[in-house]
Structure 1
């Protein structure tokens, strides 16, 4: 597939802080990529380089076959940064029309607002909107110009569950029509629900880059859940959680754990072994990286 955006051996420093360390990454046409990493990992810096808001200290950044610094090239993308400032005095319909006027083939206002659940707010001033409504509008505006590629940095922060689902539907509809999306999120279930490919960033480097399933499986961790009282020391247990009499154990060797549990004579019931969630895999990957620092 064609690479719509690319970094080649990109390093970015802020004074003495190394935000990105020789990162090479391709974003291919038609992908929906989830970008994960703890705070300070370099996610927003990477997006800012792709969209031309920052320049690399070294290395190369390409966007739609050209330079992110070229305004004509940037017309082919949509962006919602982590923080946005929209004029409070303008109405939702007015600010949508204002942004639409910058694109030769803009999406229809009614279609755009309907897709992101904003139709009923068209005559409301931005200053009267809730924080979640403003966030939905900021995300919707990224799709005004019929972009080929959209970057969404924490798009659903501050939204309730229903509003988040509406936003997911809008993003998924764009992707189903052939659009390419790169998004970051603190909600790992969001990445698991939307993304086909996951890139995990930590300490300014790419730690994992694969499908959601492959990233879950790469850590070799399983969750063993059971109903039991006090448990003996068991081999390979990474963490233990207990809730309402049910125990959940993260382990690298579930077979050995179950064998040792049976040998111990500890009474238990309701045994369940399942793969890790994306969140558990992410925490394991980043913890390993931090341990090496």
Structure 2
């Protein structure tokens, strides 16, 4: 079921078009990634969807009706790139102040447990590590029991253990509550678990599909052979069956091989280029 849609969503800053007629469909219970280089328009798009920015033109449709942010603000949770929590307050105070804003805040203890906040509950937010702060940020965003959670580069700067833990918790919440997640990330391996991906560059939507669909369209699988003579050869293949056939036919002459399927890194680079932005 469609939860959130945009039609020709556009944002201009003077003569600069930051987001150019982007149309998205976010289905309920799905995890959707918005990918793109720095300055592509990802954060601007999210900021329009959460009401921080007013679109220049285009429609936002929540559920079945064309709407604006005021009509669905209570149904979303947001975690920004930079935290909005009060650094002078404790974790408890930051969380409970948020909880008092909502009548359905009975899930506070469950979130404290899920995100393992008990050990830092009475610490000031400013004293926390980056990973601890991010766990608090996400737990706080979920207090209202939102249908849709926006995460703008939630794992930037976090170690692999914390990143893995956060995504495990979020995946569990999706299964338990039907939570819908829209996220941006520069760690492209995180997008491998997305149900659907939109790739934005220079304000335009340049590709969309499932992970498998994007990999099929925009990558090749790589087979590298090392022969008994010491010669090496690299080739691009359409699928693993081709690799198996080549390995079988040339087995007597091959000393070693490496097979690598196309990845989301390959998709991203092939679509947006290799130059630094």
TM-score by length of structure 1 reads: 0.82
- 1:157-196 alignment runs, 5 A limit: 157-177=156-176, 178-192=178-192, 194-196=193-195
Q: Which range is displaced more, 268-277 or 181-190?
A: 268-277
Structure 2 residue ranges without an equivalent (≥5): none
1:277 aligned residue:
263
- 1:1-293 alignment runs, 5 A limit: 1=1, 3-64=2-63, 65=65, 67-70=67-70, 73-177=72-176, 178-192=178-192, 194-227=193-226, 249=234, 251=236, 269-287=255-273
Partner SS for 1:150 = strand
C-alpha distance in 2 between matches for 1:250 and 1:208: 26
- Asked whether the 8 Å contact 2:224–2:232 carries over to 1, the reply is no
- Asked whether the 8 Å contact 2:219–2:266 carries over to 1, the reply is no
C-alpha distance in 2 between matches for 1:101 and 1:164: 29
TM-score by length of structure 2 reads: 0.86
Instruction: Pick 1 or 2: higher relative contact order, CA cutoff 8 A, min separation 6.
Output: 2
C-alpha distance in 2 between matches for 1:106 and 1:67: 26
| Runs (4+) off by over 4 Å | 228-232, 252-256
- Asked whether the 8 Å contact 2:219–2:263 carries over to 1, the reply is no
1:268 and 1:147, CA in 2 relative to 1: closer, same or farther beyond 3 A?
same
Structure 1 residue ranges without an equivalent (≥5): 233-248
RMSD of equivalent CA atoms: 2.5
How many residue pairs align between the two structures?
264
1:226 and 1:141, CA in 2 relative to 1: closer, same or farther beyond 3 A?
farther
Partner SS for 1:284 = helix
**What is the Cα deviation at residue 273 of structure 1?**
3.4
- Asked whether the 8 Å contact 2:79–2:154 carries over to 1, the reply is yes
